Structure 1
Amino acid sequence: MSSRADARRISGSMVDPRIIDPRQELVRHDDLSETELTEVVGVLNAIRDWREAEQRLSFESRSKMHLNETDMKALRYIIASMNAEVAVTAGALAEHLHISTASTTKLLDRLEASGHVVRRPHPTDRRAVTVQITPETHREVRRTMGMQHARRFEVVRALTSAERAVVTRFLTDLSETTLVIAPPAED
């Protein structure tokens, strides 16, 4: 087999325990039939493909709008709050983003300077200001991220109630496998 074919085979099997853990030091798979193992690897490949597609979309959207990931999270929060007719303050945004008020001020300064948000006086608290997204940015976020969400909604909508329950349980259980890797123990 050529080195190019080998490279493609390895790249396409980065989630296959037969390739990444052939001695079963981390993943036991000798109790599965070839069909079952192929199905498991198929699910893991589908998850990887979805994550990569999601990351590409997110990167492309952020790049086009000259934003970082936290900026995009802030804009999505502001849009959701505006849709729910809830005034967004810097404090609420800081809490949602889990960042300091100083970092929130810098974020809002940057978003305002680039024309993505405007600050307005709070309707009931003279000491506070609210943050609103500009119509142009709202349209752009809806065009990119909003359309993606709508497509995802339709995919989930097409599932039966039982299938949604299985997918929800699966994704919840999968989320719980995420852990923080501890530093190596000192000798």
Structure 2
Amino acid sequence: MAKPWIPSTERDVVVMSALEAVRAFSDSLDRMYAGMRGDMDMNTTDLGALRMLIIREQQGEVVKPHDLATHLAISTASTTKLLDRLTVAGYLTRKPHPHDRRARIVMLTEEARSTFRRHFGERLRRMRDAAAAYSDEELRTIMRFLADMERAMLPEG
């Protein structure tokens, strides 16, 4: 077990404070997602699938079942069960791929979009308002920091 890190310099204190802020933000996201999971009667993987689909849709990308499996790190069988669950719940549809007749894509329903807007809309507006107070340079620094934190969270190997 690693020994606890105890800040010993002013720089260490700033780094610790930044990491505590990341943890607090992560905790607030966890609380928000827990509320959504309860309201939408779904598990963490289901919600992760819907979040991925919303982001990919906003980027104009199509999503195949394999893409979901890779993103969520779940098996093909688990992906099929997930897609069945979310389809029955009215959140997803499966359609033929627009360019590959052998493949299928997964798309959000209007119900899924509406539910996400209801749960996230006001929060996203407040987050945009908070971000507007920062300069472009500051936001780029924050984005770089968060990307570095994301990479640091990946398993070693």
TM-score by length of 1: 0.64
C-alpha displacement of 1:144 = 1.6
Aligned residue for 1:29, secondary structure, equals: coil
**Which residue, out of 90, 115, 129, partners 2:90?**
115
Partner-residue secondary structure (3-state), 1:99: coil
* Unmatched segments (≥5 aa) in structure 2: none
Q: Name 1:8's counterpart in structure 2.
A: none
Cα deviation, residue 141, structure 1: 0.9
User: Which blocks of at least 5 consecutive residues in structure 1 are unaligned?
Assistant: 1-24, 182-187
Letter in 2 for 1:131: V
Question: Equivalent of 1:171, from 137, 146, 155?
Answer: 146
| Aligned position for 2:5 | 27
Partner of 1:184: none
Deviations 1:32-91 (A, max 9, x none): 4xxx95x66655554343222211101001111111122112112223333444332212
Q: Does 2:29 correspond to 1:54?
A: yes
Alpha-carbon distance in structure 1 between the residues aligned to 2:59 and 2:148: 30
In structure 1, the residue matched to 2:130 is 155
Q: Distance in 1 between matches of 2:154 and 2:98?
A: 43
**Residues 51 and 79 (structure 1 numbering): CA distance in 2 closer, same or farther, change over 3 Å?**
closer
**CA shift for structure 1 position 102:** 1.8
TM-score of the superposition, structure 2-length normalised? 0.74
Q: Which has the higher contact order (CA 8 A, sep 6+)?
A: 2
Deviation at 1:158, TM superposition (A): 1.5
State the partner residue of 2:46. 71
Partner in structure 2 of residue 145 of structure 1: 120
Select the structure of larger CA radius of gyration. 1
Counterpart residue type for residue 75 of structure 1: L
Q: Which amino acid aligns with 2:56?
A: S
Partner amino acid for 1:120? Answer: K
User: Equivalent residue of 1:103, what SS?
Assistant: helix
Question: Percent identity, aligned pairs only?
Answer: 36
Q: Deviations over 1:139-165 (max 9, x none)?
A: 111222344334323322320234324
Q: d(CA) in 2 for partners of 1:83 and 1:125? A: 21
Structure 2 SS opposite 1:110: helix
Would you say how many aligned residue pairs link Structure 1 and Structure 2? 154
